[in-house]
Amino acid sequence: ASEEMQVPLALHTSQAVFEFQEIVRRHASTPVEWLESIDFLSDRCILGHVIYPAGHSWVNFAGDDLAILAKHQASVAHATWVFNRRGVAMESFPAYLGAGVNVCLATDTCPQSMIEAIRWSAVVGKIMIRQTELSTAADAFNAATLNAAKMLHRDDLGRISAGAKADLLFWDTNSTFMVPLRDPIKNIVYNATAEDLKDVMIDGEWVMREGQVLNVDERAVSRKLQEAGERLWSSVDANNAESMDELSPQTFPDFE
């Protein structure tokens, strides 16, 4: 259906160690190998995470999943922050790129921050290979722009060029975090904050000016998000063996 309709097909895979081990137990192959065996992989596949391919130190299983992904031109949606904050990392962002895998960046859960996704991809990629020459600012920036456009088969996105959509971000290059300024891309990747983004144009229409979103009530959205979180938290005790405070203890005791 994806091929017939010419639309992307998304699937989470190789997201957890237990998932990897279960697929090996059932099929004597890695999740990526199994997807290839059922003719699932293609250049329209968006594979969420793929943190644990063959060769990752946590699964200790031989194979070359990255070569398989590259062969079929499948894309990986890398939500680096949601894993890094739990002590988990891709091994490694530059290794995937070097193997020819089209890696894009995703935010997954809170916070919905592409700045953090770009920054953590670049920095943790360097840490994992203990090198500074790879996992560059350009690699991370391209993963958020050009690679994402390639994933969607959209040559009119992710770039500033004739015929492309007028999707433009304007940064305050005089802010405390953006100076001194020599290389704008490096400053965005390594230094910028959300407050440094001043104006946003999407398809020729202004959606943010001077840091203010024009078509959305941000305060109302934040209130709804808080309410949704509280509904979820209140349901945990009734639906789990462990309470919310046991699953996610408060950092410090309540002040009395």
For residue 237, the model assigns a pLDDT of 87
What average pLDDT does this structure show over 177-200?
97
What average pLDDT does this structure show over 196-215?
96
Q: Binning pLDDT at 50, 70 and 90, where does residue 238 land?
A: confident
In DSSP terms, 78 is beta-bridged to 105
For residue 7, the model assigns a pLDDT of 87
For residue 5, the model assigns a pLDDT of 83
- pLDDT tens for residues 61-90? 999 999 999 999 999 999 999 999 999 999
Q: Long-range contacts made by residues 86-89, C-beta under 8 angstroms, separation at least 24?
A: 88/51, 89/51, 89/124, 89/127, 89/128
Residue 236 has pLDDT above 80, yes or no: yes
Share of the chain above pLDDT 70, in %: 100
For residue 1, the model assigns a pLDDT of 66
Residue 2 has pLDDT above 80, yes or no: no
Whole-angstrom distance, CA of residue 47 vs CA of residue 56: 17
CATH number of 2-160: 3.20.20.140
pTM of the entire structure?
0.90
Residue 45 has pLDDT above 90, yes or no: yes
Cβ-proximal residues to 195 (8 Å cutoff; 6+ apart), any chain: 175, 211
Cβ-proximal residues to 40 (8 Å cutoff; 6+ apart), any chain: 11
- pLDDT tens for residues 125-150? 999 999 999 999 999 999 999 999 99
Domain positions in the chain are: 2-160, 218-244
For residue 12, the model assigns a pLDDT of 97
